[in-house]
A and B are shown apart, each in its own frame.
Chain A
Amino acid sequence: MTTSVPSTTVADDIADDEALDNAVKKRLGFGFWVAVFWIGLVSLAALLAPWLPIPDPNEIANGTPRDGILGDNLMGTDALGRDVFARTIWGARISLGVGFLGILLGIVVGGALGIAAGYFKGLTDQIISFLVFSLLSFPSLVLALLITASLNRSFLTVAMTLGIVGIAPISRLARATTIQFAEREFVQAARVIGAKSRRIIIKELLPNVLVPMGALTLLGMGISIVAEGSLAFLGLSVEGEAISWGKSIVDGSQTRDLNQNSHVAFVPIVAMFLTVMALNFAGDRIREYTDVRETAF
C-alpha cells in the first residue's frame, strides 16, 4: 500500500520485492487457499441458492420426515420432512449475509470513530474512548440481546446489532493504528506542506489503517456468524420463515431430534464450523502476513 518508503537504488527495490515474494510464499501457503476456496464456495452457494437445483427449503414433507443422510434426500430431512441440505444452503444466505453486513457496519462506524479519536486526540478522543469503554463494559452477547429484544428481529436489525457489537473493539484497533501512523514522517510531511485534516485522513491514514482491518474483516465475520447462532439460541435471530444456520441448529437440537436423527443439527453445525474455521485461518494468515510487511520496512 502507501507505506512504501522511498528506495534509494534499483537493487534495493528488487531486494524489497524478493523479500515480499518470500513473505507471500512463506506466510500464505496451501491452507490459506483451501480456506479461501471454502469461503468462496459457501458464498457462491449462498448467492445462487434460488437458482440451484435443490428442493424448496420450506416445503413440508419434501421427503419422508426424519430421513437419514444419503437417503432420498442428500442430507436427509428434518422432523417436518424438509430437505436439510437445501435448508443449510439457504441458511448460508442469512448467516453469511448478517455476518458480512454486520462486520461492514462495524468497520465503517468503528473505523471512523477510531480514526477520529486517534487523529484529533483531546476532547474528541476522550468522548469517543468513554463511549467505546461503556460499550465494552457489556458482555457482547448481552449488548446484542438488549438491542434485538428492544427492536424487531428483521434481517437488517440482526445485521445492525452484530455491527454495533463490533464497533467498540474495531474502533480501538483503528485508534491504536491511527496514533501509530499519525507520528510517522509521511503524515508530518503532509501536514507541513499544509494539507487539511480531511486530506491527511483520507489520503495518508485511511489506506494504512485499512491493512489491519482486512484481517479483522475475516475474523469479525466469523465472530458475527457465531453471534447470530447465539442469538438464535436466545430466540432472537431473524424471525419468521427465514432460515439461518443458527436457527437450523436450534431446530435440530430438540431432544427427540438430537437423539434419533442428529444430522438435522449436525449438518448446519459442520457448515458453520468449517466456515468459521476458514475465516479464522484466513484472517490469521493475512494478519501475520501484513504484520511481517509492517516490520520489514
Chain B
Amino acid sequence: MARFIARRVVQLILVLLSVTFVAFGALNFLGDPLVNIVGPLAAIDYCDEVEAGLREDSYTSINNAKGDCEIIGEAKADFGLDQPVVQRYFTWLGNIITGDLGTSFQTQLPVSEIIAQKLPKSLMLMVMAQIIALAVAIPVGVYSAYRAGRPVDRATSVASFGLLSIPNFALGVIVLQFFALRNQWLPASFDDTSFGTRIHSLILPATVLGLGIAATYQRLLRTDLLTTLQEDFVHMARAKGMTDRHIMTRHALRPSLFSLITVFGVSTGALIGGSLVVEGIFSIPGIGSEIVTAVIRDDFPVVLGSVVVIATGFVVINFFVDLFYTWLDPRVRAS
C-alpha cells in the first residue's frame, strides 16, 4: 500500500506540473501574453505614444488609481516578459507554490485573496449538489433495480435519459422561472446574511446541479445492482428467507457502489463546470461569477489563478477518490 501511494503521489505531482504548464501555456502561446494580461491596449503602440507625449494616459482601471500605461509597465515587469518562457514558467510556478497568484490588474487586489473570498460559496454549492445527487440517486437506483423491467423502472429510465439531455443552464433557467419568479417559493439569488439563508438560497441551484449527476449515478447503480443480484450470495440470502428490503440495502448495495465511487471524481469535473454556469444564473458570488467578470474585464491574472486553483482541486480530489477506491476494493490493490 505504501508503495502504491508513493507511486500515485509521484503521478500526482507530474500531472499538477503539466496542468499548470497547460494553463500557463494558454496564456503565453495563444495570442500575445501582454494583451492577455492587460487587455487590447497593449497590442497597439499605446504606451510608446503616451511616452512620446502624443496622447494622454487613460485611467480605465476600476479604482482609477493607476494609468493604463503604468499598469502595462507593471505587467511587463511582474510577468518578466523579457525573459525566456521556460524561466518565466518556473518563476511563476515558484510564486504559486508560495501562495502568490499575482495581482488583479483591475482591482489591484491579490488574486489569492479574491479566490479565498469566493471559493467557499462555490464549494458549499458543490457539496450540496453532491448530497442531493446521492440522496436522489441511491434510493431511486436501488428501487429501479429491484423493479427492473417494470413500469416504474421504465419511467425512471426515461426520466434519467431526459435529465442527461437537458443542459444544466437550461434546467437552471426553467427552475428559476418557475420556482423563484412565477411562484416565489424559493429565493432567486444568493443571500449571504447567515448560514441558514445561505443554505436556503442555494437549494435551487444545488438541485439543478445535483439532478444532472443524479441521473448518471442512478444509471450506474442500477446496472451494477443488476449484476450483483445475479451473485450466489444474494441467492443464498434469499434462500435463507431474508426480506427483499434487507437483501437490497444490506447485501447488494455495498458491493454495487464501486462504479459510483469511480464516477464521483469524474462527476466533480462536470460539477465544477456546471457551477461556473449556474452561479451566474442564480447570482451566486462564487468563483464562477468571478471568472465571468474577470473575462469581461480582460483581467487575466484572476482567470489564470482561478483556473489553476480549480484544476488543482480537481486533480487532488481524483487522487483521493483513487486512494479511497483502492482501500475499499482489495482486488484493485493487488493488481
Contact = CB atoms under 8 A, between A and B. Distances in A.
Contacts of A15: none
Interface in B155-197: 161-162, 164-167, 169-170, 173-174, 176-177, 181-182, 188
B250 to A, nearest CB: 34
A264 to B, nearest CB: 10
B272 interface: yes
Nearest to B28: A150
Contacts of B188: 255
Nearest to A157: B30
Select the residue from A139, A259, A277 with max chain B CB neighbours within 10 A. Answer: A139
Interface in B288-335: 288, 291-292, 295-296, 300, 303, 307, 310-311, 314-315, 318
Interface string A101-124: 000000000000000000000000
Contacts of A46: none
Contacts of A226: 167
A70 to B, nearest CB: 19
Given A150-B27, A234-B277, A142 B307 contact: yes
B223 interface: no
Contacts of A139: 268-270, 272-273, 310-311, 314
Interface stretch (A1-9, A47-55, A129-137, A188-196): A129-137
A134 B162 CA distance: 31
Select the residue from A135, A146, A265, A269 with max chain B CB neighbours within 10 A. Answer: A146
Contacts of B241: none
Interface in B119-135: none
A167 interface: no
A246 B292 CA distance: 15
Nearest to A130: B18
A137 B317 CA distance: 11
Nearest to B313: A139
Contact of B277 (A137, A222, A233, A277): A233
Nearest to B23: A146
Interface residues of A, number: 43
Nearest to A152: B31
Nearest to B15: A137
Contacts of A152: 31
B276 interface: yes
Interface in B215-241: none
Given A134-B19, A138-B314, A141-B276, A151 B165 contact: no
A236 interface: yes
A292 interface: no
Contacts of A233: 169, 277, 280-281, 292
Contacts of A146: 22-23, 26, 303, 307
A149 B274 CA distance: 18
A139 B281 CA distance: 20
A290 interface: no
8 tightest A-B CB contacts, nearest first: A141-B273, A277-B165, A134-B18, A139-B269, A150-B30, A139-B272, A226-B167, A233-B277
Given A137-B318, A141-B272, 11 more contacts: A137-B15, A137-B19, A139-B270, A140-B269, A146-B22, A149-B36, A149-B300, A150-B27, A150-B31, A255-B181, A277-B162
24 contacts: A134-B19, A137-B314, A138-B19, A138-B311, A139-B273, A141-B272, A142-B276, A142-B307, A145-B291, A145-B295, A145-B303, A146-B23, A147-B30, A149-B300, A150-B30, A151-B31, A222-B165, A230-B273, A230-B277, A246-B169, A249-B169, A259-B181, A262-B177, A273-B165
